[in-house]
Structure 1
Amino acid sequence: MKAQHQFDSKTLMEQARNILRQNDRGGYTVPTERLYPYQWNWDSAICALGWQSFDEARAWKEIHMLLKGQWSNGMLPHIVFHQDSPDYFPNADVWNVSEACFPHGVEHPPTSGISQPPVLATCVRKLWEAGKQTSTENGDVKLICEKILNWHRWFWSARDPENTGLVRVLHPWESGMDNSPAWDEPLARVPSTQNASYVRQDTSLIDAHQRPLQKEYDRYLYLVEILRDKDYDSRAISQDFPFRVIDIGLNSILQRANLDLKAMLDQFGMRSECQELEARIELTQNAFTKLWDPQHEHFFNRDEFTGELIRVPTSACFLPLFAGLAGNEQVLKMVSTLENWMDQKFLLVPSTAPHEPSYEPERYWRGPVWPHINWMICEGLSDYGFDALSRKIRMQTLELISKLGFYEYYHPLGESGLGGSSFSWTAAVCLIWGNSTNTR
């Protein structure tokens, strides 16, 4: 059923602010207590926008804390382990990242060894344009932008060494959509870890039917072990690496980030860097057309191992809207799909198409609605002029959060909140939308 719940916007925003305060760990925001006790990359970028709505200085501190984990090659890891916790696996010891990965002589926290969708530049641009922009802050922003550019360059070189315009992910976690059914086929090639003694912590905190399966986790860990054994050096990863996927979600977010980064660097007069970004943006724009399937009327991920499109419709299929990567006819097809799902009484946007055999309405990325993905899709819909649909999704999502609480993700029929509770980026999305005149 559709969410039909009247809510008090003022109360909802105050609850959202309190959740960010509750999950504040002295300069960085954990996604939620215990289940995710560290700083996550794309969570943190989105949380900064939430903080900006009531504490701008704290928002910038979030960004600086995240960048403390940056490697010397520019890579910004998906987890920064600022302090130990017994509640999460795999921890920093499992990743075992070498000191050689970090800038020499610079104090740093331990990190994971892979990255995550690079929404940071987009969030930094929004922070900067909404802020006071004093000269000191501008100097800080320029330095942040230079660090983000180095991160983007790492994606281009380490995850697209052939310079095709499309970067690959080497682990489902790198996509941010860990157990998406889009990974089922490529993940089936991956052997299971031989480490039978490891103990997951997530299923002791959350119902197992809301989390990835054990057989998936065994393969996730195997990929970590391979990458770790190669010291996370992309040059040492051969063409027979079992998991190599062109992810439309990450590529869309990176394209949008490139556009936003270029807009900021242009303000600083960094012409050569802007030209570098322009070339990459054009390369991606041209390459992305190969991911459209006219028969199924979707953009799809591509399995680099087989060269074939992975024809599983997910919420990531709509993220090209966020990056301006869809042509007018493609946009109309995508909007028609969303409206069709809504007509079938599904809340938007389910993480897997409801008609798919792999659809599971309560299991992580295999069906549930994720508010931060809705935020990006709504941005894209508005950019293409579909303001009414964007507003419907925004209001529907806010009603859902008000009714069920600040959960990590939600049943697509509005039956329950799922995953972690008191969730930071869910609170941040509320504050982003609550701070927008388009939502009022």
Structure 2
Amino acid sequence: MKSLLDRPVPAAAAPLTVRRGAARVLLDNWSGTSTVPSRTLYPHQWSWDSAFIAIGLRHLSVRRAQQELESLLSAQWADGRIPHIVFNSAVPNDAYFPSPDFWHSSTAGRAAGAPATAETSGIVQPPVHALAAWLVHRADPRESHRRGFLARVRPRLAAWHDYLLDRRDLGGGGLAAVVHPWEPGMDNSPCWDEALQRVVPAAPEDFQRADLDHGHPADRPTDLDYGRYVRLVSDYREAGYDDRAARHSFAVEDPCFNALLIVSERALAAMAQESGADTDAAAHTARADALTRHLVTRLWDENAGLFRVRDLATDTLVEENSVSGLVPLLVPHLPQPVVSRLVDTLTGPQFDAPATRLVPSYALTGHAFDAQRYWRGPAWFNTAWLIHRGLRTHGRAQQAERLRQGILQEAAHSDFAEYIDPTTGAARGARHFSWTAALTLDLLSADLKEPTP
């Protein structure tokens, strides 16, 4: 049977129509200083969303793309962390949970360097920001230099990576750890189930979910999931968001998170070289090389044909097959046998979905697969974009182009949905979702021959 990546793509909407639709989503979701992921479900600024959004915005307005990233970086903590949410003070607290009055970042996080004026969350999301900043710079280098864009963002991005490689090397193996399921961006992935069993959930009366006001319960994490998420935040907050003082009952090394750190280290090296800082460029390249070695040594599972999550409480690999384990295709200089195995897994029965070229968030054959529920099966546009970039990085041009065409088709047909059901192709989650629109713009507009940092 042919792999889905090798099957013909049905006719899609005209590129100009799709481009106009994607641009309209981004314009409609602009808040005045940044872009919300969704007007209803996610009414604030999210960290890795803004990075993906900037990648698309660079094709509409380089200055707007720069502002997207600089708005996020303005809420960076003094310890270097970039918080996963920057709250809009004009939005009522009951519009989203957990709201600013749950995180108490400006008070509970004061010792860790939380900003005094902006309210944020205390946790982080995947470090795709330096890659985004480099792509924004490359879209118009003259304008970037004129406005001093790299000079402003490069030190902040370097501090962000320093935080991850210092404060978050909880396993001592040279990789960054995540301490909450929201941090790797794949909130309720089956990869976290075992580790979450050790977390005593908060009582239902201790929190009031707002996501179900705008999302169908079948699409969203369960109440039990949320109880555990709330407990983890509460414990971290009580420790002052101090990674050294906190007793992390959830701590894992995630392959997608660390792959993005590697690629962003290479982007920082490119920025440093562009700025004439050759010593810094060499240091970032060396860190990227070391992280690549650690990623393969600690997280690669040859028998499974993909990277796995490492649970630091047990120091073992989690035997769940997630799209997170395929995203390291992004990383340049992976051993070629690893690349070949990843591509085989991508095009094999675990991730070859029957109704879409997008990649399921969890193996179709996995025991916990759920076609509708958030990160337990649905196919997402941002991970497909990352895998597309990875295929290009390793010279798999034909497969990359097939995936690109599939992303564009599904984005148009789903009204730029948050994610889709991989077994039917039906749109799920929010519609008019910003990163779906932004990455669609990128695939319509980007020079597919642009160099990978």
TM-score (norm 2): 0.92
Query: How far is 1:163 from its partner?
Result: 5.1
Q: Does the 8 Å CA contact 1:164/1:283 hold for their aligned counterparts? A: no
- The one of 227, 239, 256 equivalent to 2:263 is 256
Tell me which of 86, 100, 115 is aligned to 2:124: 115
Q: Is 1:319 matched with 2:327?
A: yes
Query: Which residue number corresponds to residue 104 of structure 2?
Result: 96
| Residue number among 325, 333, 336 corresponding to 2:341 in the alignment | 333
Provide the residue aligned with 1:198 in structure 2.
Answer: 207
Q: Does 408-417 or 323-332 show the bigger shift?
A: 323-332
Distance 1:275 1:57 in 2: 29
Which residue identity lines up with residue 140 of structure 1 in the other structure?
Answer: F
**Is the 2:83–2:123 contact (alpha carbons within 8 Å) kept by the matching residues of 1?**
yes
Aligned pairs (5 A) from 1:193-232 = 193-194=202-203, 196-232=205-241
TM-score (norm 1): 0.94
The question of whether the paired residues in 2 share the 8 Å contact of 1:41 and 1:78 is answered with yes
CA deviations on 1:113-170 (whole Å, 9 max, x unpaired) are 0110010100110110111424754622122011000010010111115653211100
CA distance in 1, matches of 2:144, 2:63: 15
Partner of 2:184: 175
- Match for 1:309 among 317, 327, 339? 317
Q: 1:29 matched to which residue of 2?
A: 35
CA shift, 1:271, in A, is 3.5
1:42 to 2:48 alignment = yes
Q: Say which is worse superposed, 374-383 or 46-55, in terms of deviation.
A: 46-55
- Which deviations, in whole Å up to 9, do the C-alpha atoms of 1:13-47 show, x marking residues without a partner? 00100000000000200000121000000000111
Amino acid of the structure 2 residue aligned with 1:424: S
Name 1:19's counterpart in structure 2.
25
What runs of 5+ residues in structure 1 fail to find an aligned partner? none
Q: Which one of 297, 303, 306 corresponds to residue 298 of structure 1? A: 306
Q: Which runs of 5+ in 2 are unaligned?
A: none
Moved more, 190-199 or 218-227: 190-199
Structure 1 residue matching 2:244: 3-state secondary structure = helix
Once the two structures are overlaid, the 10-residue window that deviates more, 388-397 or 222-231, is 388-397
SS of the aligned residue for 1:234 comes to coil
SS at match of 1:196: helix
Q: Secondary structure at the match of 2:310?
A: strand
Match of 2:293 among 269, 286, 309: 286
Correspondence for 2:368: 358
Q: Distance in 2 between matches of 1:337 and 1:346?
A: 18
How far apart in 1 are the matches of 2:242 and 2:116? 22
Secondary structure of 2:71 counterpart:
helix
- Determine if the alignment matches structure 1 residue 400 to structure 2 residue 410: yes
Change in Cα spacing, 1:182 to 1:343, as seen in structure 2 (3 Å) is closer
Give 1:174's aligned amino acid.
E
Query: Given that residues 253 and 310 in structure 2 are in contact (C-alpha distance below 8 angstroms), is that contact kept between their aligned partners in structure 1?
Result: yes
**For residues 14 and 355 of structure 1, what CA distance do their matches in structure 2 show?**
37
Aligned residues: 436
For 2:386, the equivalent position in structure 1 comes to 376
Deviates more, 1:384-393 or 1:262-271: 262-271
Cα pair distance change 1:97/1:188, threshold 3 Å: same
Residue pairs, 1:234-273, within 5 angstroms: 234-238=243-247, 241-273=248-280
2:368 is matched by which residue type in structure 1? S
What is the deviation of 1:438? 4.0
CA-CA distance at 1:107 after TM superposition: 6.5
Compute the displacement of 1:437 (Å): 4.5
1:136 and 1:231 mapped to 2: Cα distance?
38
CA distance in 2, matches of 1:132, 1:7: 32
Amino acid at match of 2:293: N
User: CA offsets, 1:204-254, max 9 Å, x none?
Assistant: 21110100011011000000000000010011023xx21010111100111
- Code of the residue aligned with 1:317 in structure 2: it is G
Q: Is the 8 A contact 1:157 1:163 kept in 2?
A: no
**Contact 2:361–2:376 under 8 Å retained in 1:** yes
**CA RMSD, 1 decimal:** 2.0
Paired with 1:17 and 1:101, the residues of 2 have a C-alpha distance of 41
- Residue 412 (str. 1) matches residue 419 (str. 2): no
- Aligned 8 A contact 2:416 2:436 in 1: yes
Aligned-partner Cα distance in 2 for 1:52–1:301: 33
CA shift digits 1:370-413 (9 cap, x unpaired): 11111111101011011111111111121112122111001113
Q: CA deviation at 1:346?
A: 4.8
State the one-letter code of the partner of 1:326: L
Secondary structure at 1:169's aligned position in 2?
A: coil
Of residues 357-366 and 107-116 in structure 1, the stretch that sits farther from structure 2 once superposed is 107-116
Q: Name the residue aligned to 2:395.
A: 385
Match of 2:281 in 1: 274
Change (3 A) 1:102 1:237: closer
- C-alpha displacement at 1:343, in angstroms? 5.8
What SS does structure 2 have at the residue aligned with 1:357? coil
Match of 1:62 among 63, 68, 71: 68
Q: 1:387 to 1:287 in 2, by over 3 A?
A: same
Residue 423 (1) aligns with residue 433 (2):
yes
Counterpart secondary structure, 1:217: helix
CA positional deviation for 1:329: 1.1
Distance 2:325 2:68 in 1: 29
Which range moves more in the overlay, 339-348 or 265-274?
Answer: 339-348
Inter-CA distance 132–275: structure 2 relative to 1 (3 Å threshold): closer
Q: CA deviation at 1:5?
A: 4.2
**What residue identity is the alignment partner of 2:266?**
L
Aligned-partner residue type, residue 445 of structure 2: N
Displacement, 1:8? Answer: 0.9
1:327 Cα deviation after fit: 1.6
Letter of the 1:351 partner, please give it. S
What secondary structure is seen at the aligned counterpart in 2 of 1:210?
coil
C-alpha change, 1:122 and 1:192, in structure 2 (3 Å) is same
